[in-house]
């Protein structure tokens, strides 16, 4: 551009000439900058935007070290051949992932293995080979594979095929993995398998995992300036960037959920207003059934989907492969959904509501019809199972009644209740309606057992016959009847048979700590740090005593049976007493104490009747559990059911006492959480034939 400069005031010609020279230089600089190429990151985004404006659909750009999937909404960059997600561009933001992290620490799958030369190290499942599976205007699918060889160089003895999929009109992308072991592979144990995304710390501050757990979160720096408590995950915030957070504890385990409830969670940035969401449309590929708890999103900002873990279960949920056993499983797909709305600048929950709607769409679309792998079965390759479940407890029900809102599922063949520790196969669960009707759809081919658990009823149901599914199967089971365990009439009971300790007394938080900002304080009261410490505060001298007929389990039964804290990291076993009166005793018969536990962590529960010192105890569970639910703010872990027979000669007319001693004292959070306790009267035989 040419310009003409004129001096109007001769008296200031010298000064004006200087100004003109500077203006001329600035203009030339602007012209020069105009012709210089932009920085590489900006150039890539601008080039992508120009190409999108002229081409519709989804596109794949394969470069020397990266592959870029893009449509007119977003672009995703992955490293070749590793298959690491290094960048996600959306709404003018070049990268939503944390660019301060190395490329292998932004978006990745990972696993932890034990055995076969692996000793618990993190394996990010990086590929050694890259392949384009599908590439057209409607869908792009790419594959990153790693095959095991006997040299051991390629890591654990498992073949890995990680896939990424993008559709032309979709505001997000899908990812799934196919894990396979061939005949003759050596033994190995898988502790963890998950997919992780780490977002930009300077953008994402608002997190949502459920309607009652959505809030502005502390930053990683807030944790660094805080005080680490009993374990590294729990940090007391002392100098947070937001003063309202001072005195709170941050712990990623506050945001765990049951698998059945982990369908969508993620983060929101309010400027620009962008949401990043992990959507899991099916739980069929997760281990442990519908009540297995997993992490969701937490400070990082991090969001993840976990397929295998010990969380709230322990080593029972490790996937243990023996020498030579072949195996294959598809994990996922999960959907990474991005959304934006200017109204979210002032109300970020708007994007949460939108993410829930999108989650419903993804669930309705399952199984997807666009996945290329033959190992992922489509709708016409699957089957359905339907029926109606009743429950018949002769003491409560004159005849079978509908098992209202029971959880009914298909899982690998095993004993009743084995599904909660099953970890190699697929599981398919549904909640029955009020009338006990259940309809399980989209079941993969295979042979299963059908299981159920009924709210308010103790124990586990298992259908007596195997169920085989082939493509197009429609299995009609008709009327099924669950008969819960019972030997005699109920003399008394404590709690509600719901597989949790939620109905018992959850104490207020220590006054030295600030209550977390959850929207439903009652529902989430157990999601606070250090509640196990409150037992010693509330019972400083003597242990808990519960008197049947007088005490109220909602106020007088502490939610966790933990050891007494003596200080200096020493702990003592605690003995709770249940006192009750019997008007008469049948000394020739037997009574039954039903003990249902909602959780156990390195615990031993000893039972004594009317003699608190007898050795050995009348009954012991032995050392059980490793779910760590007490420390991790869970209200349940794995479910345990014990039936203890009491001879009538061991009871007396009048006052009786059952002593429950929790003998595990290895840490402050060893112990059990009770689900339900019931004393049944003398044995009775009842004809419970279905009517």
> How confident is the model at residue 523, as a pLDDT?
84
Spacing of C-alpha 119 from chain mean position: 24
> How confident is the model at residue 18, as a pLDDT?
35
Does this model's pTM top 0.95? My answer is: no
> How confident is the model at residue 155, as a pLDDT?
83
DSSP string, 460-517: -EE-SS-EEE-TT-EEEEEEEEE----SS-EEEEEE-SSSS-TTSBPPPPPTTSPPP-
CB 347 within 8 A of CB 273: no
Reading the block at residue 130, the tokens are: 């890259």
> How confident is the model at residue 688, as a pLDDT?
58
Which stretches in the chain have pLDDT values below 50? 1-46, 48-54, 691
Based on its alpha-carbon atoms, the radius of gyration of the chain, rounded to whole angstroms, reads 30
DSSP string, 652-687: -SEEEEEEEEE---SSTT-EEEEEEEEEE-S-----
> How confident is the model at residue 15, as a pLDDT?
36
Report phi then psi at 349, rounded to 5.
-65, -15
Contact residues for 403 (Cβ-Cβ < 8 A; gap 6+):
389, 390, 391, 432, 436, 452, 454, 457, 482
Tell me the CA end-to-end span of the chain in Å, nearest whole number: 96
CA dist 286 and 424 (Å) reads 9
CA dist 385 and 408 (Å) reads 10
CB 92 within 8 A of CB 134: no
CA dist 276 and 265 (Å) reads 9
> How confident is the model at residue 55, as a pLDDT?
63
> How confident is the model at residue 19, as a pLDDT?
34
648-669: burial string, b at 16+ Cβ within 10 Å, e else:
bebbeeeebebbbbbbbbebbb
Tell me the CA distances in angstroms from 194 to 19, 311, 313, 377, 606, one per residue in order: 63, 12, 16, 21, 38
Peptide bond into 616 cis (omega under 30): yes
Beta bridge partners, 446, equal: 469
- Domain ranges for the chain: 1-36, 45-364, 379-482, 490-680
> How confident is the model at residue 152, as a pLDDT?
65
Class of domain 379-482: mainly beta
For 45-364, CATH number?
2.70.98.10
Reading the block at residue 114, the tokens are: 């034990």
> How confident is the model at residue 516, as a pLDDT?
85
For 490-680, CATH number?
2.60.120.260
> How confident is the model at residue 13, as a pLDDT?
36
Same fold, 379-482 and 490-680: no
**Helix (H/G/I), strand (E/B), else coil: 377:** coil
CA dist 233 and 163 (Å) reads 31
Cα angle: 628, vertex 634, 638; to 5 degrees: 60
Please write the tens of the pLDDT for every residue from 585-596: 999 999 999 999
> How confident is the model at residue 643, as a pLDDT?
98
Tell me the CA distances in angstroms from 109 to 126, 557, 684, one per residue in order: 8, 43, 55
């Amino acid at each position: 551009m040419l310009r003409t400069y004129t001096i109007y005031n001769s008296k200031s010609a010298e000064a004006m000439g200087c100004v003109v020279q500077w203006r001329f230089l600035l203009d030339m600089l602007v012209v020069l900058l105009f012709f210089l190429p932009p920085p590489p990151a900006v150039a890539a985004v601008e080039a992508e935007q120009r190409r999108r404006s002229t081409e519709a659909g989804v596109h794949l750009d394969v470069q020397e070290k990266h592959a870029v999937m893009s449509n007119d909404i977003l672009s995703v960059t992955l490293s070749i051949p590793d298959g690491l997600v290094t960048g996600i561009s959306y709404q003018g933001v070049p990268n939503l992932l944390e660019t301060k992290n190395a490329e292998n620490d932004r978006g990745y799958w990972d696993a932890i293995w034990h055995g076969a030369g692996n000793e618990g190290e993190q394996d990010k499942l990086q590929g050694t080979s890259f392949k384009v599976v599908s590439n057209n205007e409607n869908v792009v699918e790419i594959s990153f594979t790693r095959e095991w060889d006997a040299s051991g160089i390629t890591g654990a003895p498992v073949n890995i095929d990680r896939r990424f999929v993008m559709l032309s009109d979709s505001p997000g992308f899908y990812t799934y993995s196919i894990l396979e072991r061939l005949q003759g592979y050596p033994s190995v144990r898988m502790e963890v398998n998950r997919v992780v995304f780490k977002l930009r710390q300077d953008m994402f501050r608002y997190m949502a995992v459920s309607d009652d757990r959505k809030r502005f979160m502390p930053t990683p720096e807030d944790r660094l300036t805080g005080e680490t408590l009993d374990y590294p995950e729990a940090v007391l915030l002392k100098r947070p960037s937001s003063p309202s957070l001072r005195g709170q504890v941050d712990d990623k385990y506050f945001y765990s959920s049951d698998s059945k409830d982990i369908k969508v969670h993620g983060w929101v940035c309010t400027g620009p207003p962008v949401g990043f969401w992990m959507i899991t449309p099916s739980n069929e590929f997760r281990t442990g059934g519908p009540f297995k708890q997993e992490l969701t999103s937490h400070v990082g900002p991090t969001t993840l989907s976990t397929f295998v873990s010990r969380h709230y279960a322990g080593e029972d949920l490790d996937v243990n492969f023996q020498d030579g056993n072949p195996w294959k499983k598809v994990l996922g797909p999960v959907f990474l959904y991005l959304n934006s709305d200017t109204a979210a600048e002032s109300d970020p929950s708007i994007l949460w509501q939108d993410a829930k709607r999108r989650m419903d769409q993804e669930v309705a679309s399952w199984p997807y019809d666009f996945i290329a792998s033959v190992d992922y079965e489509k709708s016409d390759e699957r089957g359905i199972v339907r029926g109606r479940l009743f429950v018949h407890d002769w003491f409560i029900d004159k005849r079978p009644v509908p098992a209202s809102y029971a959880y009914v599922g298909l899982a690998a063949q095993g004993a009743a209740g084995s599904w909660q520790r099953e970890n190699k196969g697929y599981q398919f669960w549904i909640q029955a309606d009020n009338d006990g009707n259940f309809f399980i759809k989209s079941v993969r081919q295979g042979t299963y057992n059908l299981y159920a658990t009924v709210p308010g009823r103790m124990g586990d149901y298992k259908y007596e016959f195997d169920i085989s599914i082939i493509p197009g199967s429609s299995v009609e089971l008709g009327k099924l009847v669950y008969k819960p365990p019972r030997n005699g009439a109920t003399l008394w009971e404590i709690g509600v048979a719901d597989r949790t300790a939620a109905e018992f007394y959850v104490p207020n938080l220590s006054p030295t700590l600030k209550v977390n900002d959850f929207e439903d304080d009652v529902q989430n009261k157990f999601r606070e740090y250090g509640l196990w410490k409150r037992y010693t505060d509330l019972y400083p001298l003597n242990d808990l005593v519960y008197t049947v007929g007088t005490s109220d389990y909602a106020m007088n039964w502490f939610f966790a049976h933990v050891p007494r804290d003596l200080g200096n990291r020493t702990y003592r076993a605690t003995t709770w007493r249940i006192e009750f009166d019997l008007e008469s005793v049948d000394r020739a018969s037997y009574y039954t104490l039903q003990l249902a536990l909602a959780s156990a962590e390195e615990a031993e529960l000893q039972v004594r009747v009317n003699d608190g010192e007898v050795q050995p105890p009348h009954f012991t569970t032995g050392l059980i559990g490793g779910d760590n639910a007490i420390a991790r703010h869970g209200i349940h872990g794995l479910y345990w059911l014990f039936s203890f027979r009491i001879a009538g000669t061991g009871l007396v007319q009048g006052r009786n006492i059952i002593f429950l001693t929790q003998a595990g004292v290895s840490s402050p959070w060893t112990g059990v959480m009770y689900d339900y306790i019931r004393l049944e009267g003398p044995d009775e035989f009842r004809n419970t034939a279905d009517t």
